[in-house]
Amino acid sequence: MRSTTLSVEAARCAAKRRLPPSVYGYIDGGKEAESTAIANEIAFSRVLFSPKVGTGITRPSIATTVLGREQSMPVIIAPTGFIRIVHADGELGVARAAAAVGVPVALSNVCSVPLRRVCEVHPDTWFQLYMLNGRDGVQQAMDLARQAGCRVLAVTVDVAATAPSDRVMRRLPSSLSLGSVLRFLPDALMRPRWLLNFLSGGLAMRAPNAPRKPDGSEYEFAEIGPLIVRTPPTWDDLAWIRRQWSGKLVLKGILRADDAERAAALGADAISVSNHGAKVLDGTPAALAVLPEVVDAVGQRLEVLLDGGVRRGADVVRACALGARAVFIGRAYLWGLAAEGETGVRDILELFRRGIIATLADLGCPSIEALDRTYLRPLPSQSHWNELGERLHLRLK
């Protein structure tokens, strides 16, 4: 049966109803006071359109090319760790939905499905990696990506420590230890439908795409967090990865023009302007607010992607008008996954497709490729952005 999801916000509400509170907090929450998470969403409302009338455009083209491959629209499924906890369809269901719509899927190396299986479902699978176990671990990850047939490696560069969240997730299960299960059990019993769905996918809580332990066994999900922050990548490490990886290379987590310049000099093929979905350092600016200066600095030398706060087709158009080649979507598809599994993800992508088309038509723009800043009002000053953000935050609370 087809989903009745009418909007991304409806999927968000459905996810909140269907998921245990700790699981919902895992996908929806940000770090500490979540000011950056709020800023990511509000930033799009500060960028106003300037439509051109009398163009007669009703069927604009939204197809584009990202890193040398054509795709149906400028959207990429963002990498998220262990999403089977959201729905048993997990990474394979998400990959099937992305393949059906014609957009890439980026798979986290902290997930529950072997990379090769996802690549069999969707040939345009990107592989995201952390610097787990230093260069030895990255070499294992690159070998895995090559063997699976991945053409794009996305290295996350913005995680050096972990911070607490005011939306505490202590009960979230990270292993099958008795203590972890007992802490999570009250949450799980609140959502029996979710519990049955989770159990249908099996009880494994391992990360098959992460480097192996010295004894050759797989790490459990609970063991990955400390590894992520133990050896964050340096610029020397990133230069080494560039030399070792002959495919397309994306550096994910850039928020400064000077770092973007270093990425271009390094030979990266693309960067993602991103604050890690507000899940790392609270108090950083919204990714969209940083996008124009990064595009101005390096947009002629590499492709600039955006990650953070994208909730609808109009947001995609705003980002592309500011110079993004494409955007990653994270929470939006996870809400769809929680609501309806694979079908929900496909419906969310369809909502984005229709929203992009409608926005371009109303702007009088013939294609996503023709977008530029002439379709936007002049950007507000930073002080005005802050004032408007405070007002919208109060209204949303």
Catalytic sites, residue numbers: 276
Q: Which residues contact 96 (CB under 8 A, 6 or more apart)?
A: 121, 122, 342
Cα 90 to Cα 273: distance, rounded to the nearest angstrom: 26
DSSP annotation string for 247-265: SEEEEEEE--HHHHHHHHH
Contact yes or no for 125/98 (Cβ under 8 A): no
Range list of H helices, the chain:
8-18, 21-28, 35-45, 90-101, 115-121, 134-148, 178-190, 192-200, 221-230, 235-244, 257-266, 287-298, 313-321, 331-363, 382-396
Amino acid occupying residue 303:
E
Residue 249's beta-bridge partner residues?
153
Q: Which residues contact 146 (CB under 8 A, 6 or more apart)?
A: 247
DSSP annotation string for 62-117: --EEETTEEESSSEEEPP-TTGGGT-TTHHHHHHHHHHHHT--EEEESSSSS-HHH
Contact yes or no for 325/64 (Cβ under 8 A): yes
Buried b (16+ CB within 10 A) or exposed e, 131-141: bbbeeebbebb
Q: Which residues contact 185 (CB under 8 A, 6 or more apart)?
A: none
Cα 127 to Cα 106: distance, rounded to the nearest angstrom: 6
Cα 386 to Cα 21: distance, rounded to the nearest angstrom: 31
Contact yes or no for 84/27 (Cβ under 8 A): no
